[in-house]
Amino acid sequence: MSFEEAEILKVRAEAFLRNAKALIDNREWDLAIFNLKQFCQLILKYKLLVKRGGYLKTHSLRTILRVLGQDNPKLLELVEDERNLHYIARIEEAYIVARYLPYTFEEKEVLDIYRFVVEVFKPIVESI
C-alpha cells in the first residue's frame, strides 16, 4: 500500500474518534462506543501498515496489539496491564454488542471508556 492509502486509514480513524465525541455529546451511547472501537481498530491497522507493510484481517484489538508489541514493547502495556486489558476487552466487545445484542451502554461506562481511549490508548499508540 502507498503512503497515501495508509494516510486514509489514519484520517478515517481520527474521524471515528471525532464522531464518537459528537455522539457522546448527543447522548448516543451505543453508537459512540461503536465509533470508539472503530477508531482503535483503524489506528492500530494504520500503525501495522506503516510499520510492517500490511495489516491483519481481524477485529481483535488484543491480537493487533500483541503483533505490534513484538516490535514496540510499550504497546504491550495495553494488554499486559490488567486494568488496561479490561478496557481493551470492553472496547472489543462493543463491536458485537452495539451491532447485534439487545444491550444498551450507559453514560458512565461510555464516558469512562472514552477517557481511557483519549488519555491512555491514544498517547501510547501515537508514541510508536
Average pLDDT of the residues of the chain: 93
Residue 1: per-residue pLDDT: 61
**CATH numbers and ranges of domains, the chain:** 3-126 (1.20.120.330)
Residue 10: per-residue pLDDT: 96
Residue 39: per-residue pLDDT: 98
Residue 61: per-residue pLDDT: 96
pLDDT at 94 over 90: no
Rounded to two decimals, the pTM is 0.93
DSSP the chain: --HHHHHHHHHHHHHHHHHHHHHHHTT-HHHHHHHHHHHHHHHHHHHHHHHHS---S---HHHHHHHHHTT-GGGGHHHHSHHHHHHHHHHHHHHHHHHHSS----HHHHHHHHHHIIIIIHHHHHT-
